[in-house]
Structure 1
């Protein structure tokens, strides 16, 4: 079966199910597992590679106002890939390709991924597994991921629960949304800015200060830990920075949001495990 993935989470799910060799094309953002980096790309972005977080936010908002996207489909590359099945998503129309952007003339059968929660991610694993003939592998993977989440919850039980603020974007500030509050709760914390299943939202720095978090996690969407640490430097200049309990306690943690918090695939479980380690390290 010739698979084309239009979202990195779908690529990671397919590979986790043992279907890496079936993938024939992916997006320009795909980088995990490493072997997918050699595959042809069927998307591109209009965002400059050196754009600042503020510039990226402005471009995304402008695209949304115009009902456009910062991600663009290469119809010719998709045609050349000759997919038997397309894996896509319906969650974000501005910063990823959605299935309704695929020209009908080029459409193979599609599998839509629409997770906005950890359970939704696990359901997507099953959906992909059924579609690509790997239902048993999907059952085993889902069982393994559930067991790991339960192990994190069990290890965290009985500890004092830190107040946790997760920032999904740093200029302007957005809180962590969708599954992030669930990851925090399973890891033993209390999310003071978000609720499970809700979208991230733009927030004022004063809201972060007022929330008085014991732990501050910087997880900008699509960025690795190094970029999170670099972009996080601007927060130090904001009023009240030194008053935040997490700052006073040295518990401000830049993390790899791209790998563990932005993509609704199996590595969300790695993200919960990472948070548990951060919360336990007083």
Structure 2
């Protein structure tokens, strides 16, 4: 089946299409995607009529939060490919799945292979080094420990992440829980904030943790950890350079 007209309802799917050199197939995206392509609404509240006006061969959705959208779109007669990665290996596998969906299966397989190689390269660089405890905050009101693939990403970068197992959804975390873990580094990647998260807001908290004592609170663009796309590989590399700078000299 030809897939020349694709609507992407997830920024991660859009970014995967970019890496697959398939941007020219996109005829609709969310307003979270910085492309010169018609926007059809937000990733959780798209305009279904606007999607229909794009006359898509394929609609891409992702995450369990878009499951209802997927079902509604299919009920309306659309061909929908939905990926729902929860761990780092599943994120990488989704690159190949999107590649097959948009008619670029070989490129999708190659993208997944390159991603695995990048992760393995980082792991080799940090192997055998002390693993500092890391706290990753996806949301700050209230403080929310990042889950899903982030625990895997921290471990790949050479850190320890005791807050959630990989695959579990992000959840609110108590100050006492953070203090008991004694994180040596904090990474802020607040949803929707890009690189604009305020590290001083964390440094001012009455948390008795080494990261605040040493000022080791780092801001990452939220797409580098929150988005299950090739951007996540950039996030892993950025974390690894912060945790183990001597490994990358």
Q: Same fold (TM over 0.5)?
A: yes
In the alignment, which residue of structure 2 is the partner of 1:155? Answer: 125
Q: Deviations over 1:76-135 (max 9, x none)?
A: 211110000111124225xx9731243723x32111111111111122111111122211
Q: Deviations over 1:256-276 (max 9, x none)?
A: 11x201111111111110110
2:192 partner SS: coil
| 1:5 CA displacement | 0.4
Q: Please list every run of at least 4 consecutive aligned residues from structure 1 whose deviation after the TM superposition is greater than 2 angstroms.
A: 100-105, 232-240
1:43 partner SS: coil
| 1:169 CA displacement | 0.7
Structure 1 pair 168–21 and aligned structure 2 pair: CA distance change class (3 A): same
2:42, 2:89 → 1: CA distance? 30
Q: Deviations over 1:210-242 (max 9, x none)?
A: 21111111111232122x12xx433344323xx
| 1:160 CA displacement | 0.9
In the alignment, which residue of structure 2 is the partner of 1:75? Answer: 48
| 1:40 CA displacement | 0.7
In the alignment, which residue of structure 2 is the partner of 1:50? Answer: none
Answer yes or no: is 1:277 the counterpart of 2:221. no
| Aligned partners of 2:73 and 2:80 also within 8 Å | no
TM-score after normalising by structure 2: 0.91
| Aligned partners of 2:203 and 2:215 also within 8 Å | no
| Aligned partners of 1:42 and 1:77 also within 8 Å | yes
In the alignment, which residue of structure 1 is the partner of 2:174? Answer: 204
Question: How many residues end up aligned between the 2 structures?
Answer: 243
Moved more, 160-169 or 217-226: 217-226
In the alignment, which residue of structure 1 is the partner of 2:60? Answer: 87
Answer yes or no: is 1:266 the counterpart of 2:237. no
Equivalent position to 2:200, from 228, 233, 257: 233
2:226, 2:63 → 1: CA distance? 15
Equivalent position to 1:193, from 156, 163, 168: 163
1:90, 1:234 → 2: CA distance? 29
| Aligned partners of 2:146 and 2:170 also within 8 Å | yes
**Gap regions ≥5 residues in structure 1:** 46-70
TM-score after normalising by structure 1: 0.81
| Aligned partners of 1:178 and 1:197 also within 8 Å | yes
Cα RMSD (Å) = 1.8
2:211, 2:115 → 1: CA distance? 30
Q: Deviations over 1:56-78 (max 9, x none)?
A: xxxxxxxxxxxxxxx32212211
1:72 partner SS: coil
Equivalent position to 2:75, from 97, 104, 114: 104
1:92, 1:146 → 2: CA distance? 26
1:264, 1:98 → 2: CA distance? 18
